[in-house]
Amino acid sequence: MEPDFFFLLSVIPALSSALFKYYTEGPPKKSWDLKFHLAIALFRTNSRYLKLSVEQIQKTVDKVIIKVPFNITVKDVILDEEYRRKSITHLEKILKQYEDVLDEKWKESNDGRLRGEWTRVNEVDNVVVLYLHGGGFRTGTSKNARTITFKLAELTNSRVFAPNLRLSPQNQFPAALCDSIAAYLYLINPGPEAGFDPINPKIIVLSGDSSGGNLVFALLLFLRDAGLPLPAGSVILSPWTDLTHSMPSFWNAELNKIDLIPSKLGFYDIGAPSPASEEYFVTAKALADKIALKKPTMVSHPSFTEVPRFQLYCANEALAIPYVSPMLAESLGNLPPILCQVGGDEKLRDESILISYKAANPHEYQLPSYATKNFEKSPFKNPTKVILEVYDDMPHGWHALTFSEPSKIAFERCGDFIKRVTSIEDNNISMIDLVKEDLVPPSISVYPSLIAMRINTNGEIKELNEADRDCLKWDKIGIVPKET
């Protein structure tokens, strides 16, 4: 059977069941109307519920292509190999200290050259957005990220470049980060084949959702650590920044009926036997043997190796690498301004809140303790300016439901932020310069490096709930929990 047939078989009963529950029990959240409820039900019928192979899952998702509206221009591009080569050279220097826990095959490009697409609304644009797609590191392309990239292009009159990142388990960390760096180098230092002049980083904004949000943080940390030019800012949507799955909201059983993300170490199993899964098991064993032989001294916690390997993206011993789990970075200071948006009822809520507070207050939130022993020697202690927005009742992936009011509100705020960070020339900007006055009511506390707020489904704004901040006191940050 073809993946499309499996998908069709799952969609019809799933939507029928969702429709029945809506009229008999009501939606999981009172603010959800029928259209929103059914859309979430449709999202729930994705590949993790189907016993497909890795290749079938990726092909199924790849076929989800958003049609191009009349006002949008899309251009496919294939990047010259030089960008990936330059990226590898930079990464080898930064990742040398971690090489004993990495699969060296990330340098091989089995998927061919790096591809992507440009999106634009018109010929008049002064802003460029580099968009990194989500998909849990194992699925996704620029074409099924169009719901978001089209919206960003429309709201900001910007050009949006979205690369097709290499996927796991065929491509282990740091393959996706390598491609992200290559895409950024393509923008700021293009070759003659690119057809455009070098783009000033001060008009570039990074953006991404879910695992793409992870890669935005990882790319920012990498550029900072490597001394490369930083972009104007970043818009990060529901980022997955803690690959240890250590935060309480991830395991909150009350969110199971609301959010799309399963409470499971690694999210997904490897899937049905296939050439890719067989290669993964061989590669994982070879890496495990290498690690056992090298016995590397790594920043880590004993919990990492008390459970079998659970991420398709990397070995357990690599979980605390800051470019793998940015939430565990020693310091998130000295980064350009960040807008972080997350759903109030998604399982990634706590890590989004914590990473925002850590970036804005690097002196105060030096967590976890096992990863911060050298903070005093860090050259990156300056607070990063962060706007944190938590959206009431929203599950993971709600941005893609662009017909909904919360999605419209969120994107309008994204558009305003992008316009502001790319138009301010002075690096010593204040927080209030980053948002329009009417977007932050007087009742909201504005700190020198942080504005944190709750936004309801009608766009009304209030302070974070007290419970939202409980995660800042969590004493098991970066510790892999034992699944129940």
- Where do the structural domains in the chain lie, given as residue ranges? 3-62, 73-258+321-473
- Cis bond upstream, residue 337 (ω within 30): no
The pLDDT, as a whole number, for residue 180 is 98
| 210 part of the active site | yes
C-alpha dihedral (412, 138, 98, 334), degrees to nearest 10: 0
Euclidean distance between CA atoms 139 and 397, whole angstroms = 14
Quote the radius of gyration of the chain (alpha carbons, Å).
21
- Omega before 174 cis (within 30°)? yes
pLDDT < 70 regions, the chain? 1-15, 18, 20, 22-23, 45-50, 111, 124, 426-427, 437, 484
Match 């565990």 to its residue by tokens: 328
Question: Is there a contact between 188 and 181 (Cβ–Cβ < 8 Å)?
Answer: no
d(CA 76, CA 92): 29
What is the spatial distance between Cα 46 and Cα 63, in angstroms, rounded to a whole number?
12
CA dist 288 and 286 (Å) reads 5
Pick the CATH number of 73-258+321-473 from 3.40.50.920, 3.40.50.1820, 3.40.50.1860, 3.40.50.9100: 3.40.50.1820
Q: What is the pLDDT of residue 171?
A: 95
pLDDT at residue 1, rounded to an integer: 36
Contacts of 149 (CB under 8 A, 6+ apart): 119, 129, 131, 142, 160, 162
HSE (CB half, 13 Å, CA atoms) of 71? Answer: 7
pLDDT at 232: 96
Give residue 125's pLDDT: 72
> What is the number of alpha carbons within 13 Å of residue 262 lying toward its C-beta?
14
Distance CA 446, CA 453 (A): 10
Tokens describing residue 281:
């098991």
Considering the candidates 168, 210, 249, 356, report the single residue annotated as catalytic. 210
> What is the edge-to-edge ordering of all strands in the sheet holding 159-163?
73-78, 115-120, 159-163, 128-132, 204-209, 233-237, 338-343, 386-391, 450-455, 461-462
Q: CB atoms < 10 A from the CB of 392, how many?
A: 18
